[in-house]
Amino acid sequence: MNKIQVAFKQAMRIMASDLGLKLKDLNLSIRFDEKGIPDLVARKESKNLKRVRIGQLIKPKMIGARICAKKLTHFFRIIHVAYLKGAKINNPKVVSLVFYPSKKVEEICVGIYVNGTAKKAFRLSEVIELTGLDRELHILN
């Protein structure tokens, strides 16, 4: 795992702990409105637990990896827009990103949902590599 993956896992672990959950039970759902403003919701299975500000994800390891709220929002937006364009979807509200710890690959994964239906899932490491976030932040494994 590289520093970015470790930072994401720490942020999600702390958030899960704050909500009285185990990491494996937490999902972080992200939707964007027409203005490109992210709406984050911490969830357990299909139950919404708490709205989350992007700044609440910035934990010590994220700071150490030089990730700020602006870069994190940009990272989420890149994934969102890429899927919108690839799938030729005009309404950004129907697409949501879900970050979750996968039991199968033992890594944080990103699921893409359209109108509540799962369409694709990627390992966070793949998404980081595809978006170039690791190169942008000059981080090595």
Instruction: Provide the 3-class DSSP secondary structure of residue 76.
Output: helix
Delimit the domains of the chain by residue range. Answer: 3-136
% of the chain beyond a pLDDT of 90:
26
List the CATH code of the domain at 3-136.
3.30.470
pLDDT tens readout for residues 57-107: 888 888 887 888 888 888 898 888 888 888 888 888 888 999 999 888 888
For residues 93 and 52, what is the distance between their CA atoms, to the nearest angstrom? 17
Q: Alpha-carbon distance 88 to 31, whole Å?
A: 17
Query: How high is the pLDDT of residue 137?
Result: 61
Task: Tell me which DSSP letter residue 89 carries.
Answer: -
Q: What value does the mean pLDDT take over residues 114-118?
A: 88
